[in-house]
Structure 1
Amino acid sequence: MLGCGRHTARIVDRDGAVVANADVLLEVEWQRTLDDVSEARIVVQPDGDCCEAMGRVRSWRHDLVIYRNGRACWEGPCVVPEWNADSTVGVRAFDILAWLDRRVPHESREFIGRDLSNIAEWLIEDGFRPDDPGHSVQVVAPTRIRGNREYEQNIGQTGDHLRDLAATGLDYTAVGSRILLMPEDFCGRVGSLTDADFPDGLVIVEDGLALATRWIVQGRDDVLAEAGGKHSYYGLLERYVEETSILDSPSAEAAARSRLRTSSPAPVFVDSQQTTLSPEAAVDIASLVPGWCVDVMTTSTCRNIGQALKILGLKVVEDGDGERVSVQLTPAGA
Structure 2
Amino acid sequence: MAVAGCGTHTARVVDRNGATVATADVLTETEWTRTLDAVSTARVTIQPDGDCCNRLGRVSTWRHRLMIFRDEQYVWDGPVTGISWSLGQVELRAQDVLAWLDNRVPHASRTFTNVDLAEIAAWLIEDGYAPDDPGHTVRVVDPAGVTGSRTYTIGVGQTGDHLRQLAEAGIDFTAIGSTILLLPETHMANVGRLSDVDLPEGLEVAEDGASLVTRWVVAGSEDSGAIGSFGGVDPYYGLHERYVEMSEITDNTSAAEAAKARQRVSRVVPVFVDTQQVTISPDAAIDVPSLVPGWTLDVTSASTCRQVSQRLKITGVRVQETGGDEDTPGTESVQVQVAASGAEAA
1:212-243 superposed Cα distances (whole Å, 9 cap, x missing partner)? 22211111131111122232222222211110
Aligned to 1:248: 251
Whole-angstrom distance in 2 between the partners of 1:207 and 1:29 = 27
Q: Which one of the candidate residues 5, 8, 11 is aligned to 2:7?
A: 5
Tell me the TM-score normalised to structure 1 length.
0.97
Q: CA deviation at 1:177?
A: 0.6
Aligned to 2:339: 330
Unmatched tracts of structure 1, length 5 or more = none
Q: Which one of the candidate residues 277, 296, 306 is aligned to 1:293?
A: 296
Q: CA deviation at 1:310?
A: 0.7
Q: CA deviation at 1:21?
A: 1.7
Q: CA deviation at 1:15?
A: 1.1
Code of the residue aligned with 1:288 in structure 2: it is L
Code of the residue aligned with 2:179 in structure 1: it is R
1:108-145 superposed Cα distances (whole Å, 9 cap, x missing partner)? 00001110000000001111111111111111000111
1:289-332 superposed Cα distances (whole Å, 9 cap, x missing partner)? 11111111111111111111111011000013500001000126
Code of the residue aligned with 2:236 in structure 1: it is Y
> SS of the counterpart of 2:124?
helix
Aligned to 1:196: 197
1:167-225 superposed Cα distances (whole Å, 9 cap, x missing partner)? 00000111001011011100111111111111111000101121222211111131111
Aligned to 2:327: none
1:92-117 superposed Cα distances (whole Å, 9 cap, x missing partner)? 10000001001111000000111000
Aligned to 2:39: 37
Q: CA deviation at 1:273?
A: 2.3
Whole-angstrom distance in 1 between the partners of 2:263 and 2:277 = 29
Aligned to 2:321: 318
Whole-angstrom distance in 2 between the partners of 1:9 and 1:327 = 22
Code of the residue aligned with 1:56 in structure 2: it is R
> SS of the counterpart of 1:281?
coil
Whole-angstrom distance in 1 between the partners of 2:286 and 2:187 = 19
Aligned to 2:24: 22
Q: CA deviation at 1:82?
A: 1.3
Whole-angstrom distance in 2 between the partners of 1:100 and 1:306 = 38
Root-mean-square deviation (Å): 1.2
Code of the residue aligned with 1:57 in structure 2: it is V
1:3-62 superposed Cα distances (whole Å, 9 cap, x missing partner)? 110001111111111111223211000011110100000111222221111111101110
Aligned to 1:170: 171
Aligned to 1:257: 260
Whole-angstrom distance in 1 between the partners of 2:276 and 2:320 = 11
Q: Does residue 205 in structure 1 map to residue 206 in structure 2? A: yes
Q: Does residue 92 in structure 1 map to residue 93 in structure 2? A: yes
Q: CA deviation at 1:87?
A: 3.0
Aligned to 1:75: 77
Q: Percent of counterpart pairs with the same letter?
A: 55
Give every structure 1 segment of 4 or more consecutive aligned residues whose post-TM-superposition deviation is greater than 6 Å. none
> SS of the counterpart of 1:257?
helix
Code of the residue aligned with 2:336 in structure 1: it is V
Cα pair 1:136 1:179 within 8 Å, conserved: yes
Whole-angstrom distance in 2 between the partners of 1:169 and 1:230 = 22
Whole-angstrom distance in 1 between the partners of 2:51 and 2:285 = 41
Bigger mean CA deviation after superposition, 161-170 or 23-32: 23-32
Cα pair 1:112 1:147 within 8 Å, conserved: yes
Code of the residue aligned with 2:72 in structure 1: it is G
Code of the residue aligned with 1:159 in structure 2: it is G
Cα pair 1:23 1:47 within 8 Å, conserved: no
Bigger mean CA deviation after superposition, 253-262 or 180-189: 253-262
> SS of the counterpart of 1:262?
helix
Unmatched tracts of structure 2, length 5 or more = 325-329
Tell me the TM-score normalised to structure 2 length.
0.94
